[in-house]
């Protein structure tokens, strides 16, 4: 592979300038042949969408939590607009529901920021080659959540009020009750009460199950 003709073009998306500089440095220092090149970076969801459409990267390294929106929604939009781009989630969050929702959103891989340089370069290379990049741990998380999903007859989102759906949408992005409350100008206790109603109507017991139902419904609506 030569840098001039077939370098893998990478776009970094993370709200931390330190993280972006660190990942850029890792790639440049450990990929001496230039076969992987960082062509741009972004700190927000809006910047990510704009830069992706402008640069058309082969691979996007995407954090889930961004200051102006969810990385999962960025993932969905990028895959609609640029189906050739491969999206790798690179995050410090390992919650089961986030992993599941990332895969449902279409992400081609889920990486933790603790990954070593060789592993990161291998993941980028594999993603660009069309391979799914899921470690055994991530795969086990997804399988466990699928096994724990509610049975037939559960999960009818039409039973939820508009406000309950808004709360669930934010929960599915990995936000805590406090963060949901801040987004919606509600008290943390009010958010908790909404979630109690959501769980009862969807016939689930865990927020990860409710989030999985919402993510699946969103995927079906999009697809």
- Alpha-carbon span 172 to 169, nearest angstrom: 5
- Alpha-carbon span 220 to 84, nearest angstrom: 21
CA atoms within 13 A on the CB side of 8: 24
Q: Note the pLDDT of residue 139.
A: 62
Q: Which residues pair with 133 in a beta bridge?
A: 109
pLDDT tens string, the chain, 223 residues long: the values are 444 458 999 999 999 999 999 999 999 999 888 899 999 999 999 999 999 999 999 999 999 889 998 898 899 899 889 999 999 999 887 777 777 778 777 888 888 888 899 999 999 998 998 887 876 666 666 656 655 555 554 567 888 999 999 999 888 777 788 889 999 999 999 999 999 999 888 887 777 678 777 877 765 554 4
Q: Note the pLDDT of residue 135.
A: 65
Residue 97: name the closest of 168, 16, 202, 195 by CA.
168
Q: Give the pLDDT confidence of 116-127 residue by residue, as tens digits.
A: 999 999 999 989
Contact 22, 120 (CB under 8 A): no
**Phi (first) and psi of residue 106, to 5 degrees:** 110, 0
SS3 (DSSP) at 174 = coil
Which domains are present in the chain? 3-145 (3.40.50.2300), 157-222 (1.10.10.10)
Q: Give the pLDDT confidence of 60-87 residue by residue, as tens digits.
A: 999 988 999 889 889 989 988 999 999 9
Q: Note the pLDDT of residue 101.
A: 79
């Amino acid at each position: 592979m030569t840098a001039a003709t077939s370098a893998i073009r990478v776009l970094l998306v993370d709200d931390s300038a330190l993280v972006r500089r660190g990942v850029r440095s890792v790639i440049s220092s450990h990929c001496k042949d230039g076969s992987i090149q960082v062509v741009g970076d972004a700190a927000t969801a809006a910047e990510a969408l704009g830069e992706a459409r402008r640069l058309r990267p082969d691979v996007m390294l995407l954090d889930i939590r961004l200051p102006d929106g969810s990385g999962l929604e960025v993932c969905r939009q990028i895959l609609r607009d640029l189906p050739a781009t491969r999206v790798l989630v690179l995050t410090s969050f390992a919650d089961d529901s986030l992993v599941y929702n990332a895969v449902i959103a279409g992400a081609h891989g889920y990486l933790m920021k603790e990954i070593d340089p060789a592993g990161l370069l291998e993941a980028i290379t594999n993603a660009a080659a069309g391979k799914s990049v899921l470690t055994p741990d991530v795969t086990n998380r997804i399988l466990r959540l699928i096994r724990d999903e509610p049975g037939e007859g559960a999960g009818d989102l039409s039973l939820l009020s508009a406000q309950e759906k808004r709360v669930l949408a934010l929960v599915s992005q990995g936000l805590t009750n406090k963060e949901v409350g801040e987004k919606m100008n509600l008290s943390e206790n009010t958010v908790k009460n909404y979630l109690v109603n959501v769980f009862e109507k969807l016939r689930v017991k865990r927020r990860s199950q409710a989030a999985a139902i919402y993510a699946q419904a969103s995927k079906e609506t999009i697809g």
